[in-house]
Amino acid sequence: MDLIFQGFVQAFQLLLQGDREVINIALLSLGVSLCATAISLFVGIILGVAIALNQFTGRRFLVSLINAGMGAPPVVVGLIVSVFLWRNGPLGLFHLMYTPWAMIIAQCIISLPIIMGFTLASIQNIDPKLRLQILALGASRWQLLWLLVKDTRLPLLAAVMAGFGSIISEVGASMMVGGNITDQTRVLTTAIVMENSKGDFGMAIALGIILMALVYVVNLMLTGVQQQSRPR
């Protein structure tokens, strides 16, 4: 209990003192995860709707891959991304390894199946007659897409929360492709692991409290939007 109490005290001290390293770590964590969530949200919604609205050979297999990807181990994702981004890999010429962009790529791959799965399930639950009615009224495919997404905005906001939560809290992929480099790729999760390995439990708990606070604040804002968008 003393360690937890000291962690809370140290967290408040670090924030009140404006510790540069902690602020940089927190901002990088937030920036990387929000960027990855935004990219995977844009791509995931389009692909999820496209798969939900079309019938094609191998569709069931593709959906099973998406569902399996929702539980993909982040460390495996980190390994795959590392192989591609390593200097001898297919994308090594871009020199993205051990940069924030490598972490964004890994986090996008982790959150993309989650957002696609939520989108796919939401669109499939809409009555097919509604889609036909919208098209019969002269709507284009893009207008149909917008109306369906608007109609399923509540579960899609849940998808955003699930996707963001899954990547800001992961450590395996970020450690493997980012390298935990000070002032460059050190995020809250990798910093917590490092401080724990050093035996500085007070600092590790302080960073953990800051991480939980960030997750709560972001989800609180998304929940507010979700509740305001709820049909009355």
pLDDT of residue 105: 96
Is the overall model pTM greater than 0.85, yes or no? yes
Mean of pLDDT values over 105-114: 95
Q: How confident is the model at residue 110 (pLDDT cuts 50, 70, 90)?
A: very high
**Whole-number Å distance between alpha carbons of 229 and 167:** 25
- Amino acid 18: pLDDT: 74
**Of residues 15 and 50, more confidently modeled:** 50
The average pLDDT across 53-71 equals 90
Q: What is the CATH number of the domain that holds 217?
A: 1.10.3720.10
Domain that holds residue 138: 2-228
Domain count of the fold of the chain? 1
Task: Give the residue, 83 or 223, on which the prediction is more confident.
Answer: 83
d(CA 189, CA 57): 41
Average pLDDT over residues 57-67: 92
Whole-number percent of the chain with pLDDT over 90: 43
131-153 mean pLDDT: 76
Residue 231 has pLDDT above 70, yes or no: no
DSSP string across the chain: -HHHHHHHHHHHHHHHHT-HHHHHHHHHHHHHHHHHHHHHHHHHHHHHHHHHH---TTHHHHHHHHHHHTT--HHHHHHHHHHHHSTTSTTGGG--TTSHHHHHHHHHHHHHHHHHHHHHHHHHTS-HHHHHHHHHTT--HHHHHHHHHHHTHHHHHHHHHHHHHHHHT--HHHHHHH---TTTT--HHHHHHHHHHHT-HHHHHHHHHHHHHHHHHHHHHHHHHHHHTS--
Task: Provide, rounded to the nearest whole percent, the portion of the chain with pLDDT above 70.
Answer: 97
Report the pLDDT value the prediction gives residue 52, as an integer from 0 to 100. 86
State pLDDT tens for residues 163-221: 898 899 999 999 999 999 988 999 999 999 998 888 877 788 888 888 998 889 988 88
